[in-house]
Amino acid sequence: MATVRDAVGGVQSVLVLGGGSDLALATVRRMVADRCHTVVLAARHPDRLEGELAALRGAGAATAESVSFDADDVTSHQKVVDDVFARHGDIDLVLLAFGVLGDQDNFDHDPVAAAAAATTNFVGGVSAGLAVAGQLRAQGHGTLVVFSSVAGVRVRADNLVYGATKAGLDGFASGLSDRLAGTGARVMVVRPGFVHSKMTDGMDPAPFATTPEAVADAVLDGLRRGSEVVWAPPALRLVFGVLRLVPRPVWRRLSAR
Amino acid sequence: MSPPHSSAALLSGWGRTAPSGAELVRPLGLGELRTTLDDAPTRGVIARGLGRSYGDAAQNAGGRVIDTTSVDDVAWFDAERGHIKVAAGASLDELMRHLVPRGWFVPVSPGTRFVTVGGAVASDIHGKNHHRVGSWCDHVSELTLLTPADGQVTVGPDRDPDLFWATAGGMGLTGVILDATVTLTPIETSRLLVDTDRTANLDEVMALMESGDAAYPYSVAWIDLVATGSALGRSVLTRGRFARRHELTGSAARDPLAYSPQVVAGVPPVVPSGLLNRASIRAFNEFWYRKAPARRRDEVQEIPRFWHPLDLVRDWNRLYGARGVVQWQCVVPLEAGGALRRIIAGLAEARCPSFLSVLKRFGPANPGPLSFPGPGWTLSLDIPAMVSGLGPLLDRLDLEVVEVGGRIYLAKDSRLRPELVGDMYPRLDEWRAVRDRADPNGVLRSDLSRRLGLC
C-alpha cells in the first residue's frame, strides 16, 4: 500500500524540516513536477531559499513558502510544526532532512562541538519527529520521511559522531514507525550512502556514491511501494547486510579511509 | 448524545491502497444512525457501507466514519407493484436473497452483490443494463437523508430534485443516506439465456455492441488488454436476458425462481505481493480468451455466474497482496471511439497488466451532476498498484479522456489529478451549491473529497 493518500504515491503537500537540504530539495522538485501544490521549507536561514521557492512556483507549486526553523531549539519545534499544519491543512508528507556532518578530527578535541552536532542531528530529530507524528496521527494519514544514513548502520571510526547520531535517529524513526502502526500515519526511513552534495563538498566519494536526484527517485519509489526503509542506491541494502556482520577487526580495516 | 459503539480503525477501499485512520462508529439501528452527525469532529463524518469502492470514498482520515451495515431493515415491500423501502446498510446480496424467490430482481446490479443500498445511491452504480435502463438512482423514487443543515429530509425526483440528484453519485457528501425506496424488475425465472461471442479484436466487439446491444437487456464485454497487434482489444462479449418460465427445462423448470448463491473459496489475509504480475495476468488473459466459445446462443446461466463470478471468492482483492490494486474506469462519448482505441493501444503498448478489464456501452445520463454514466463507451481496468510507471500512465490516459469530453468514475478513483475533476464533471459547481445548502459547514468529508478538493 502506498504511504500517502494517493494510491500510486502521489503527494499534494509537503513540509521539509531542513529546507536547505539538497536531498530534500531534489525530492520536492520531483513531487512538484508531478502534482504537489503546496511546499513549505522550514530552515535556519529561510531568506536564502527565495530562489528555490521561486523555481518551485515556476514549476507549478501554487504555494511555496519558507518558515524559520532552528533544529537546535527543541522548545520551538512543536509550534513551528503546528503553525504549518494550521495554515495549510493536510500535509501528505514531511521530510525530516536537517543534520550536520562535522569533522571527526575536530570532534576528537572538541567534545562540546560534538555534543552540538548530536543535538542537531539526534535530539532535534526526536523533538521535531514527535511534533510531526502528533499532527499526522490527528489527521489520520501522512508520512514522515526521515533521512538517516548508512553511516548509522554500522558506525565508522573516522565518522564516529555523525554515524552515532544517525544510528540514534534511525532507531528512533524505526520505533516511531511501529508506534504509529494502525493510525494511518507512517514513517519511512531513508538510508543514503555517500551523496555528492553541499554537505560532502570537497570530500573523497565513498564506493556506491550517488546524487541527490537518485536519492529523490529512491524516496518516490519507496512512497509508491509503501516501503518502511529505503536504501540509496538500493544495492547498499545488500552491501550493509554483509558489512553489519563482518568481525570488528575486518570492519576496522574496511572502514578506514 | 455521543455516537454509539465507536473504535479507532484503519480503513481503506477495496483496492487496499491508501489506508487512513478514523473513529469508526457502528449504529445498530436507524435510531442510532440518526445520532451520528451529533458532535461531529472537526475533520467531519462520512458514511461507509461494505467498503467496495476501490479508492478512498468511504474513509475519512482523522474524522468519523459511520459503518451503516447493521442498519439493514426492510421497511416495507410491495410484492404487487415491485417497490421496496429498505435501509441504507442493506446489501444487494440480502435484497436478492429476499426478492429473487418472490419473482423480483434489483433494477441494477454491479459486478458484486456485496454493496449496500446507500453505497449504490452514493455512487449511482451501473450494471450490464445501463444501455437500456440507466443507473441505480433512475429507479429510486424516494430517499431519506440526514443532512447537517436540516436533519432528516425526504427527497425524490419530484421532491427537492436538486438535492436528490446531487445525492445520486454524490459520494455521500450531501447527507447520510438513511433509506431508499426502489422500483424493482419483475422476473419469471432466476436463470438467464446468455449469448457469447468471442471477437478477434476491438473493432469487431465494438461493431457487435453497436449493432446488437439494443436487443439485449444485459450486455458486457471482457476485454484482453494484454493482446497487441491485430488482436488488440480482443474480447468475449456476453449478452443475455432473464429466461421466461416456459423456456426452462428439467430441474430448472421445477423451481424456476431458485436462488442460492455460494461462496466457494476465500483468500488468506496475507498473500505475497507479486502473485498477480505481468506473466500471471498475461497467462490468465490468454486462458480466459481461449476458454470462451467462439459463438454460443441461449446458454442457461444462473444469476451469480452471469453477474457476480468474483463473489465466488471471498476477499479476492487480497490476491493483489499488501500493495493492493488500482481500478480505473472511464467513459468516453460514443463518437470518441478513436480515443478508446488510443487508450487501449496505450495500455497494451505499456504492457500494463490488467486482470479483469471490461468494456460496455452506456445509455443516456440521468440528471445527477456527479453521476458517472453517460452515453458512451466505458472501460474499466484493474492493475496491481505495484506496477512501476502506473501513476504517469494513468495520468496520460486521464488526459485522453478529458480531451474528448469523458470522465472517470469517482467511486473507483484513488489517484486522479485534482485539477481535472472540474473538466470531467463540468456541473461540479452546481453540485457544490446544492451540497453547501445541505451541509453549509462542511461536516460531510471524506479522503476522496479532500484529495480531489470536491468540497
Q: pLDDT per residue over B292-351, tens digit each?
A: 999 999 999 999 999 998 888 888 888 888 889 999 999 999 999 999 999 999 998 888
DSSP notation for A94-150: EEE-------HHHHHH-HHHHHHHHIIIIIHHHHHHHHHHHHHHHHT-EEEEEE--G
Tell me what pLDDT residue A2 has: 53
Q: How far apart are CA A91 and CA B334, in angstroms?
A: 40
Distance, in angstroms, between B60 CA and closest chain A CA?
Answer: 8
How far B65 CA lies from chain A's nearest CA (Å)?
12
* Active-site choice (A107, A122, A162, A194): A162
> Residue B3: its pLDDT value, please?
61
Question: Where does B261-375 show beta strands of DSSP type E?
Answer: 265-266, 295-302, 313-314, 325-332, 358-362
**DSSP element (H, E) containing A231:** strand A229-232
Tell me if B322 and A226 make a contact (CB, 8 A cut-off).
yes
- What domains can be seen in chain A, in order of their start residue? 13-255 (3.40.50.720)
pLDDT value of position B267? 85
Q: Which residues of chain A neighbour B396 with C-beta distances below 8 Å?
A: none
CA distance A222 to chain B (A): 11
- E strands present in B303-416: 313-314, 325-332, 358-362, 376-384, 407-408
- Tens-digit pLDDT profile for residues A22-77: 999 999 999 999 999 999 999 999 999 999 999 999 999 999 999 999 999 999 99
Across the interface, whether the CB atoms of B415 and A141 are under 8 A apart is answered no
Helices (H), B213-261: 250-254
Contacts of B15 in chain A (CB under 8 A): 7
pLDDT tens readout for residues A196-215 = 998 898 898 998 999 999 99
Contact check, Cβ <8 Å, A8/B62:
no
- Of B16, B19, B451, nearest to A6 by CB-CB distance is B451
Nearest to B324 among A1, A10, A182 (CB): A1
> pTM (2 decimals)?
0.95
Minimum distance, in Å, between the CA of residue B414 and any CA atom of chain A: 5
Taking only the tens place, the pLDDT of each residue in A98-136 is 999 999 999 999 999 999 999 999 999 999 999 999 999
For residue B49, the surrounding DSSP H or E stretch is none
Interface with chain B: mutation pick from A3, A4, A6, A32, highest number of B CBs within 10 Å: A6
Instruction: Note the pLDDT of residue B86.
Output: 98
Question: Is the confidence at residue A1, as pLDDT, over 70?
Answer: no
A4 touches chain B (CB under 8 A): yes
Look at the alpha carbons of B382, B383, B384, B390 in this order and tell me if their dihedral is positive or negative: negative
pLDDT at residue A211 in the model: 96
Q: What percent of chain A stands above pLDDT 70?
A: 98
User: Would residue A3 show up in a list of annotated catalytic residues for this protein?
Assistant: no
Nearest by Cα to B68 from B144, B178, B154: B178
Q: Could you list the mean pLDDT of each consecutive 10-residue stretch along chain B, which spans 455 residues?
A: 79 95 95 92 97 97 97 96 98 97 97 97 98 98 98 98 98 98 98 97 96 95 92 95 96 94 83 81 87 94 92 86 92 96 92 88 98 97 90 96 98 96 98 98 97 95
Q: What are phi and psi of B239, to 5 degrees?
A: -135, 145
Residue A235 contacts B, CB cutoff 8 Å: no
Q: What is the pLDDT of residue B2?
A: 54
**A7 Cβ under 8 Å from any chain B Cβ:** yes
Closest-CA residue to B42 (of A59, A115, A89): A89
Query: Which residue does chain B place closest to A36, by CA atoms?
Result: B417
Please report which confidence band the pLDDT of residue A3 belongs to, taking 50, 70 and 90 as the band edges: low
> What is the model's pLDDT at position A181?
96
Cα–Cα distance for residue pair A28/A32, rounded to 1 Å: 6
Answer whether A141 sits within 8 Å of B21, measured CB to CB. yes
Gyration radius (Cα) of chain B, Å? 21
